[in-house]
Structure 1
Amino acid sequence: MADDDQGQGDEPFNPFGAFPMFGDIAKALQGQGPLNWDAARQFAMLGATEGQPEHNVDPGDRIAYGELARIAAMHVNDVTGSDDDPPEPRIVTRGQWAAETLEAYRPLFTDLATSLGQQPGTDVEAPSDPMMQMMAGLSQMMGPAMMGMSVGSMVGALSQRVFGLHDLPIPRAKQEIVLVARNIAEFAETWEIPTDQMRLWVLAHELSGHRVLSIEHVRTALADLVRQHVSGFRPDPSAMADSLGGIDPMSSDSDPMEAIQQAFSDPEVLLGAVQSDEQRALQPRLDAAVAAVVGYTDWVVDAVSVRLIGGESLRIAEAVRRQRAEPTPDDVFVEKLLGIRVGEEQVRRGKAFIQGAVDRVGEDGLTTLIETPDSLPTPAEIDAPGLWIARVSGD
């Protein structure tokens, strides 16, 4: 009978039901809530530190960044027409960045986990095969732990290469300037860039990102779009079973272990995160908003960094562009789970949009339009800045 397949009454399906010794484990896993934060924190720190002790930030680095930040802030304010006094930069380790990021985005990740943990609609057909039933039930039961491991691993991996808070244009409740000194130093060494020049470029970028996300209507609109995306998943409990069931261990054409690793690197398999019609309809709006924010930030950075470090700024910008153009598995998670796409195409669209606006209204006119309420461009406007100018200016 149907109740026999699902357990007694309304209790969720327990794939360990035939093995009493695992009963306590099953109950513990099912009582974790939508996301296991202990797992998230542990995997975030493991990814950030690679299991090694972290040294404190060198006090000399803090002093150097503080002095350079005052110079960079003056030029960012001049280019953007702002008179704001930005906060002093905080210099952190990778572990600190990971822990703070996980906490800053906790409401967002909770919404994501709740969306993925909801029961599928009545239009989703339950698997009839016993093995598929077991895999689907196991996936659902393990969901909170898997979600915690996935989110934590993603944040930990990002901490290995971000420069600050604005590599990902996702607003935080607290607007700060936070820099990961080790990543900046290693990037400069890899590309043979003088340390102070690299620091100035990063400061220009972080101060520019801070400036645009300090505009309340821009920050609120972008945050709302991201929240709508993460709340819009329609989970597929059989995603893992379907994917793993398609792997032929006897095939000579591929390595089955490699196929399994690839499957588990895909959020649609690991978490049953299947994009919904609502998310597909929302994605162009989110893409347009992200492109505009990234484009404006990069435009300010280009203008400021030329003043600060001259022609060397072009080489630094090209090195950063190359890093952006090489997506990692973590970028796939960010894109599929959070809807944030910051690849080369997005950057190109954003910079073309901003440059098109500057060509029409000038730098001062651009600043005025950006600060006008409801100024984030629509999907049609991001590729036609003239339409955006007409709407925002009221012409």
Structure 2
Amino acid sequence: MGRTVDWDFAATVGRRLVRPVPPTTEYTRRQAIDELAEASRRAELPVREVTGLNEGAAVTDARIIDRGEWVGAATESMRVMTGGDGGESSGFLTRRITGAQTGAVLAFVSSGILGQYDPFAANGGELLLVYPNVITVERNLRVNPSDFRLWVCLHEVTHRVQFRANPWLADHMSSALAVVTDEAGQDVGAVAGRLAEFVRDRRSGVAPQTNSEGIIGLMRAVQSEPQRAALDRLLVLGTLLEGHADHVMDAVGPAVVPSVATIRRRFNDRRQRRQPPLQRVLRALLGFDAKMSQYTRGKAFVDDVVAKVGMERFNTVWTNAETLPLPTEVDEPQKWIDRVL
């Protein structure tokens, strides 16, 4: 994939297509930037205490950015993850077209993302917080801004702690992604056959019919067996990382975020709210529904295991790739406990 995308052009297109942010005063903008920077530092200690993951390194500052800057950071990260710029094997026009498509997708995503930890950043990992989106969401939810900003940071800082305490995670993710995006050696006839089989299964009710599962099913239909296995590894890892971060957000509790219960309730309501038809289609195509499933299923897995064995024994999950939950264990945590612990 990486060699068929003009990443510089993707960044240019994406920045031009980002939606304008709601109006806000310079005072509010400056206050949000300063408070998010401080909250990202404050969140580190409670996250380390709750998770028991502490690599001992100094707390690094988050990068507080706007939507256009996030698009630039995302394209650079994707460039690294997928193997760099297009070469001579992929034509100029092809790379420009895929670059424009990628930029348009990132522009759409940029209006909804609150923050992320990028383990593939050039400086060895970077925490990004998108302040215009944080301001927009806290206004829509009508929650305490300071509490909400710290709550968001607890989630994103958990990802930073996950990757910094377990450096092998980035390599595991990168190697799986390389297999998923590897287009070399694909037999066109075999791909067409798998796609036809998927369509037949959909008609007979064998394949998933829901939007998010249907998109993943379509991906599997055109993938080789190694690619399917790699996609499973990515989905399971994403489910674990997001669920663990959601667990930590709530486990820190009202001692750190006084209005955490109100924020969680209203934020969950926002996740489940029905979107306009076009937005629902885009969310399904981009996998947002599957992402929401990751939060829910992953948190249920972590909640259940921690309740039964405690956080210290749960942390065995971070030992290596073999101790990560299998796809069949995410919804049945006891199976993971029996196998690993």
After TM superposition, the score normalised by the length of structure 1 is 0.64
State the Cα distance separating 1:219 from its structure 2 match: 2.7
* CA shift for structure 1 position 103: 0.9
Give 1:1-395 correspondences, 5 Å limit: 34-48=4-18, 50=20, 58-83=29-54, 84=56, 85-109=58-82, 142-166=93-117, 171-173=119-121, 174-214=124-164, 215-232=166-183, 275-278=222-225, 279-310=227-258, 312-325=259-272, 328-335=280-287, 342-367=290-315, 369-374=316-321, 375-393=323-341
The gaps in structure 2 that reach 5 residues or longer are 193-214
Would you say the 8 A contact 1:171–1:223 is kept in 2? no
Match of 2:201 in 1: none
- Preserved contact between residue 91 and residue 179 of structure 1 (Cα < 8 Å): yes
Task: State the alpha-carbon separation in 1 of the partners of residues 187 and 21 from structure 2.
Answer: 33
Residue by residue, what CA displacement relative to the aligned partner does 1:191-210 show, whole Å, maximum 9, x if unpaired?
11111011111111111111
Paired with 2:71 and 2:92, the residues of 1 have a C-alpha distance of 27
Provide the C-alpha distance between the structure 1 equivalents of 2:188 and 2:144, rounded to a whole number of angstroms: 50
> Do the aligned partners of 2:6 and 2:86 also contact (CA within 8 Å) in 1?
no
Distance in structure 2 (CA, Å) of the matches to 1:110 and 1:332: 26
- SS of structure 1 residue aligned to 2:43: helix
Q: What secondary structure, in the 3-state scheme, does the structure 1 residue paired with 2:238 have?
A: helix
Contact 1:236 1:274 in 2 (8 A): no
Q: 1:59 to 1:366 in 2, by over 3 A?
A: same
Relative to 1, partners in 2 of residues 1:69 and 1:36: Cα closer, same or farther, differing over 3 Å? Answer: closer
> Is residue 76–residue 207 contact of structure 1 (8 Å, CA) maintained in 2?
yes
Secondary structure in 2 aligned to 1:177? strand
State how far apart, in whole Å, the 1-side matches of 2:160 and 2:280 are. 25
| Length, aligned pairs only | 300
Take 2:319 and 2:220, find their aligned partners in 1: how far apart are those partners? 36
Residue 330 of structure 1: CA displacement?
A: 4.9
1:178 partner letter: L
Offset, 1:341: 6.8
Residue 49 of structure 1 deviates from its aligned partner by 5.4
Change (3 A) 1:284 1:155: same
Q: Which moved more, 1:348-357 or 1:170-179?
A: 170-179
TM-score (norm 2): 0.74
CA contact (8 A) 2:47 2:157 kept: yes
CA contact (8 A) 1:324 1:343 kept: no
Secondary structure at 1:172 match in 2: coil
Q: Deviations over 1:176-229 (max 9, x none)?
A: 222111110110111111110111111111111111122222332223222221
Report SS of the residue matched to 1:165.
strand
CA distance in 2 between partners of 1:219 and 1:321 (Å): 29
Kept in 1, the 8 Å contact 2:6–2:95? The answer is: yes
Given that 1:41 and 1:102 are in contact with CA atoms closer than 8 Å, whether structure 2 keeps it comes out as yes
Q: Secondary structure at the match of 1:178?
A: strand
For 1:113 and 1:333, locate their aligned partners in 2 and report how far apart those are by CA, in whole Å. Answer: 25
Range with bigger deviation, 104-113 or 354-363 = 104-113
Q: Structure 1 regions of 5+ residues with no counterpart?
A: 1-32, 119-139, 240-265
Q: Residues of 2 paired with 1:143 and 1:322: CA distance?
A: 41
Contact 1:353 1:382 survives alignment (8 Å): yes
Is the Cα–Cα contact under 8 Å of residues 49 and 95 in structure 1 kept in the other structure?
no
**1:381 counterpart SS class:** coil
Matches of 1:37 and 1:195, distance apart in 2: 35
- The CA distance in 2 between the partners of 1:223 and 1:208, in whole Å, is 19
Larger Rg belongs to? 1
Cα displacement (A) at 1:276:
1.8
Percent sequence identity is 23
Q: Aligned equivalents of 2:289 and 2:188: distance in 1?
A: 23
Shift of 1:342: 4.2
